[in-house]
Structure 1
Amino acid sequence: MPDDSRLSVITPTTNPDTPPLVGALPRTPFAFIWHYMRGGFRGHVVLMMALIATSSAVDTGQSYVLGQLVNTLAHTAGSSVNPVAWFAALCATWLTGYLFTHAYSTFTNYTQMTMRARIHDELFAYLLGHAPRYFLDQASGALAHKIRVAAQSSVTVIDYVGSNLAKFAVLFVVTGLIIARNAPDLIWLSMAFLIGFTALSAFMAQRLRGYAKASSIASSEQTARMSDTVANWDVVRGFAAADFERRTLRPFSDRESAAFIDLRLAATKMRLVLHTLSFGFLAWLAWNAFSAARTGTITVGAFTMLVTLFMLVAGQIRTFGDQLFVYFEHLGLLSDALDTVLAPHEIVDVPGAVTLQVTRGAIDIHDLNFAYADGTTVFADFNLHIAAGERIGLVGPSGAGKSTFIKLLRRQFPLRTGRILIDGQDVAGVTWDSLHHSFAEVPQSPGMFHRSVRDNIAYSRPDASEAEIVAAAKMAHCHEFISVRPTGYDSVVGEKGMKLSGGERQRVAIARAFLKNAPVLLLDEATSSLDSEAEHLIQDALLALMRGRTVIAIAHRLSTIMHMDRILVLDGGKIVEQGRHEDLRRAGGVYAKLWQHQAGGFI
């Protein structure tokens, strides 16, 4: 049994009470967009609409000023108005329109960049809240791509709804007033056409949403496939499989290309129909204005005003149809991204979850039942008590449940029934972050970021000083190989730590655990990648790391756990033997046979 005199209160240095960056987010596109507008960007969007509406009003007013200028020039002799005044007014509308358009563009760029950054941050935070099972079913490259797509599509949809609709509304209202005053016979037919055209555009563009979503899915699959290949470049090179990977990528590229072509063809058909209708509408209006001018019903200036106005409206109608296509395309992309990234979290903190307070590190497991999603039972009515500060070794064949046991302690999978308690606190009722703050883990294949050695060691305690980082590295016997590198602790380890050997990666992981100083230590084949010399160096460091902590160590090489307080032999999710090394070896059971095989040189 452990020596309780070694125990002391160990408090994680990283604050476990830090609130999560983001909670649940709406999964439907419009609710998602409204969430951000309501959360600080509503005023920005209103100002964007005001700027573009003013710009549109000024642009539309140019036709009226131009018509008055033409009338004044045509009747200069009898007119009391100086044509220079109308010319100056025309120049003023040009300048004013430019200024408002520039102000809109500048402010829109600022708003979009700010909103996009916030969406990136919150989607990224939500993504990291998913349980391990979610990431097992998703490609990391595709997930990163979907976050970027969701952010960009959100600001594009907002720009369309908040800006273009305001611009078109002002244009149609001002145009209607001008036509009603100068060509009242055309007003009702013109308004009917504009309403019908808008409805037809919306209907046709809505049908593109399915094409856009299919294109997004195909693009994500292609990106995921390429990311998977690039992430395993060493395997590809080791098997001389570059040509094979290129061939297997081709079907993904073909599907992406076909989906994109389908989308663009559908968009082209829509544009052809809408542009033909807008051309016919423009020709009809221009002919009516031309006929009225010939008969003297309207002045030359009014004719000029109406024709330039009709050209402006026709151009905006074409733009409206094109941008409506872009709108529904991005709506489809956003919908697909939100469906994936904002899938409900499998593991969430219960209402009123408290911070786990670990003062001793005692672990109790009562009537634990767990099975994988495919129905395979791992633990059935499993019970175990681990005393505070006790060092436990787990051994057993592959599939016995050793690694799953570690994952359940960290609440990475939901239990069917049963309870896991740490210092009397049910892990189901504590915050997930505080639970993880209480563990330090050295896995068999430690994760490494494409960052410096310093950043990788300090990941467990970002606020650690340089002296503390170096001290942890020395205790894990990392300092020697780090200090001989030209850039020392600033040396970048490469993607997944590929610039380090397996043993060096494992020692960095051990240094990370030293620095974290957590009350419960989990070791999963912590010395499996070390050669004999490195393993000898690390054993003393691990013994120091274990002191005063509850330790659970999974081991294949039994020599690494022979000094544990207790060794558990698992098989089929059950404890078939337990005891100290010497007792188990003399008992002549499963453990003794494993020891005999290894001592005899079989492993």
Structure 2
Amino acid sequence: MPNVTCPYSPCCFPGRQAYTAFLPSCMANAGREEEFRNSLEAGSPVMRHSIDLSLPKRIPRTPEKPLPFIRYVLQHCSPGMKWQAGAAYLFEIISTAADTLVTWALGRIVGVIATAGDRLWEKVTYELLILAGLWTLRNISYRCREYMERHYVPELLNTTRALLFARLIQQSQAFLHANFAGVLANHVRRAGDVISGLRDKMQYSIIPLAVRFVTAGVLLWGITPQFALFIPGFLVVGAICAVLTAPKWTMLSLQQAEKSSLLTGYIVDSTTNLSIVQQNVGWREELNRLDHAQDQMTQTFVNRLRWVSWFWGIFDTIMTFFLCGFMALVVHGWQQGNVSTAQLAMTVGLSMNLFGAIAGTVNLLSSKFDDIGILQEALHKISTPLSILDKPGAPDLQVVQGAIDFRDVDFSYIPGQPVFEKLNLFIPAGQRVGLVGVSGAGKSTLCHLLLRAHDVTGGGIYIDGQNIAEVTQDSLHASISVIPQEPVLFHRTLGENIRYGRLAATPAEVESAARAAEAQNFIATMPKGYDTLVGERGVKLSGGQRQRIAIARAIIKDAPVLVLDEATSALDSETEKAIQSAMMHAMEGRTTVVIAHRLSTLSHMDRIVVMEHGRVIEDGSFEDLLAHGGVFARLWKLQAGGFLPDALPQAVGQ
């Protein structure tokens, strides 16, 4: 695939190529490249680069621990970003050293004032110039650091989010169904914020503290080595506090992050289903659930604050005694004449500077534990091992005709409870096959296995003689169009939702697909036509309109295999009849598998397959099965309002 200029060029930034390398090669066809691209829109507005969409087929597992993950992120940032980050840290060191030396300069000024007499201004002018020079150096270094940050921080944050998102979109349907969508989205978003917070603490706290200690140690050594020995003492006290409290702090922060994520997931879940809440007068129940979730989060919050209060009480007491002892030693030296007035002023200023820096650093480190808890929870969830993997070196699926062959397929969701045992079913290329059976017969599972939402436990599924477990998942998905029972639309425009089947489609092709799906007429009545937003999950459209958009998306994808999973069961008969021609158009020239509860919708199928308890019990044309008088004929007679019953009378299967 050639390099292309990103159509979102205002959002581009250095280093995108470094981590787009983890997106699968068929992402554009499978619909995931667009999602990844949208996750990058927060980048710097002044940088433009191209994206290489020639991508490998495997994504390495995301590290589960914060420090390995940070190294993982940095490995995939651009060299320019790393150079800018290094320069920013260098300017931070210079500015901090200059800021610490200001205390030294002030001490010299105090000494001059104390001894200058009538020649005060003659002697103090030079010292004031030194002070001004240090302040100027400090300010210039700050501005240079901020300039570098404007360029490298956006890439760092976006690289973090994009790497996590690239991993998240490879997870299986089972993983996505088992987790709150809001929680997963929150993990991706907050991970970038956490990395930014950790960077801030490193750049604005830990490094400045180290520079202050080194600078102060050199200055104090110049007065007397005895004073300089207190510097390691400060460090030892801080290190002991950090080592003793880190495990407890991390545990409490992780607990708080977990409860916070659950609360977020609950709020998103309740908000998504707000119409159901209102229709069933369930607001009291939702508030009760919210109170319960908040109580759990509050308890972890209180536990953490209790621990923080104890820590600060002990830490402040230790540091107060330590500082007072140091000051007593300095005053004693001044009384003995070993320390001048200028040195006394400088030492007092340095000691207060160091004490404030230590307290500020410890305070920031305490919030760092909160960040680590948030990041660790996100990594633990998103780095869950992928349940469906491409084999190393797996080729792309090459579909020439589209024949489907289920060979001796075994499958079970729960060990010991098989859904299929030695299932065999061959669908010739271009054939339209309807799957019939009551709930639990295995129809939807069969389609899910075809899409490789799960791996079979025995046998194999072949398309044009190629085992789908041996080819890349994205090439498989790119070869199959799906029209589900509940059409899933993005909160984007009508045109974007149709084009999602093939992102490179032109406006003319989008309109052609819409006409083929019988969607052109209602789109023409929309306020902005194809540029009309459909609302979250398409709530602004009727069921029939959403279904037409889904059909148009399948048509524009032009995949050789089409799966309709009860695509019209949620529609009324009149709406269903209105879109039948669109359905037939979508089936033209494609191998088609249709699951339907309305048996009348299968009258145009080339073949009907009747399933029961994971077995094929009848197979033939619509007319032949009716004439045969078997299970299909019985089901036809038992239909209530055009739908299949939930279960068959015992005699039907006999």
Equivalent runs, 1:449-488 vs 2, <5 Å: 449-488=490-529
Q: Provide structure 2 residue ranges, at least 5 long, that are not aligned to the other structure.
A: 1-25, 31-52, 645-654
User: Residue 473 of structure 1 aligns to which amino acid in structure 2?
Assistant: A
- Determine whether 1:139 maps to 2:176: no
Distance 1:544 1:344 in 2: 40
Shift of 1:278: 2.5
Q: Deviations for 1:211-268, whole angstroms, at most 9, x for unmatched residues? A: 1100000000000001001111111111011122111111101111221222233223
Equivalent in the alignment of 1:51: 91
Distance 2:178 2:124 in 1: 72
Shift of 1:404: 0.6
Distance 2:579 2:69 in 1: 51
Give the conservation status (yes or no) of the 8 Å contact 2:62–2:379: no
Summarize the Cα distance change of 1:462–1:404 in structure 2 as closer, same or farther, 3 Å threshold: same
User: Residue 36 of structure 1 aligns to which amino acid in structure 2?
Assistant: V
Give the conservation status (yes or no) of the 8 Å contact 2:406–2:424: yes
Distance 2:188 2:207 in 1: 28
Equivalent in the alignment of 1:321: 362
**Partner SS state of residue 538, structure 1:** helix
Shift of 1:513: 1.0
Summarize the Cα distance change of 1:179–1:514 in structure 2 as closer, same or farther, 3 Å threshold: same
User: Residue 487 of structure 2 aligns to which amino acid in structure 1?
Assistant: P
Distance 1:510 1:341 in 2: 32
**Partner SS state of residue 133, structure 2:** helix
Summarize the Cα distance change of 1:462–1:382 in structure 2 as closer, same or farther, 3 Å threshold: same
Name the count of aligned residue pairs: 592
1:66 to 89, 106, 110: 106
Equivalent in the alignment of 1:25: 62
User: Residue 585 of structure 1 aligns to which amino acid in structure 2?
Assistant: L
Equivalent in the alignment of 2:296: 255
Equivalent runs, 1:175-574 vs 2, <5 Å: 175-373=216-414, 375-574=416-615
Give the conservation status (yes or no) of the 8 Å contact 2:213–2:231: no
1:76 to 91, 113, 116: 116
Equivalent in the alignment of 1:38: 75
1:585 to 607, 614, 626: 626
Q: Which range moves more in the overlay, 485-494 or 218-227?
A: 485-494
Distance 1:124 1:247 in 2: 33
User: Residue 413 of structure 1 aligns to which amino acid in structure 2?
Assistant: H
Q: Cα RMSD (Å) of the superposition?
A: 2.2
Equivalent in the alignment of 1:6: none
Shift of 1:163: 5.2
Summarize the Cα distance change of 1:109–1:255 in structure 2 as closer, same or farther, 3 Å threshold: farther
Distance 1:98 1:515 in 2: 58
Give the conservation status (yes or no) of the 8 Å contact 2:568–2:576: yes
User: Residue 348 of structure 2 aligns to which amino acid in structure 1?
Assistant: V
Give the conservation status (yes or no) of the 8 Å contact 1:366–1:383: yes
Distance 2:500 2:334 in 1: 78
Distance 1:269 1:258 in 2: 17
User: Residue 303 of structure 1 aligns to which amino acid in structure 2?
Assistant: L
Distance 2:428 2:107 in 1: 93
Summarize the Cα distance change of 1:354–1:256 in structure 2 as closer, same or farther, 3 Å threshold: same
- Determine whether 1:576 maps to 2:613: no
* TM-score, L = length of structure 1: 0.93
Summarize the Cα distance change of 1:348–1:162 in structure 2 as closer, same or farther, 3 Å threshold: farther
Shift of 1:78: 10
**Partner SS state of residue 377, structure 1:** coil
Give the conservation status (yes or no) of the 8 Å contact 1:448–1:505: yes
Kindly, what percent of the aligned residue pairs are identical? 35
Give the conservation status (yes or no) of the 8 Å contact 1:48–1:163: no
Shift of 1:162: 5.2
* TM-score, L = length of structure 2: 0.86
User: Residue 197 of structure 2 aligns to which amino acid in structure 1?
Assistant: T
Give the conservation status (yes or no) of the 8 Å contact 2:88–2:149: yes
Give the conservation status (yes or no) of the 8 Å contact 1:216–1:336: yes
Give the conservation status (yes or no) of the 8 Å contact 1:438–1:518: yes
Distance 1:163 1:82 in 2: 36
Distance 2:326 2:58 in 1: 56
Runs of 4 or more consecutive aligned structure 1 residues displaced over 4 Å after TM superposition: 12-18, 77-81, 599-603
Question: Bigger relative contact order, structure 1 or 2, given CA contacts below 8 A and separation 6+?
Answer: 1
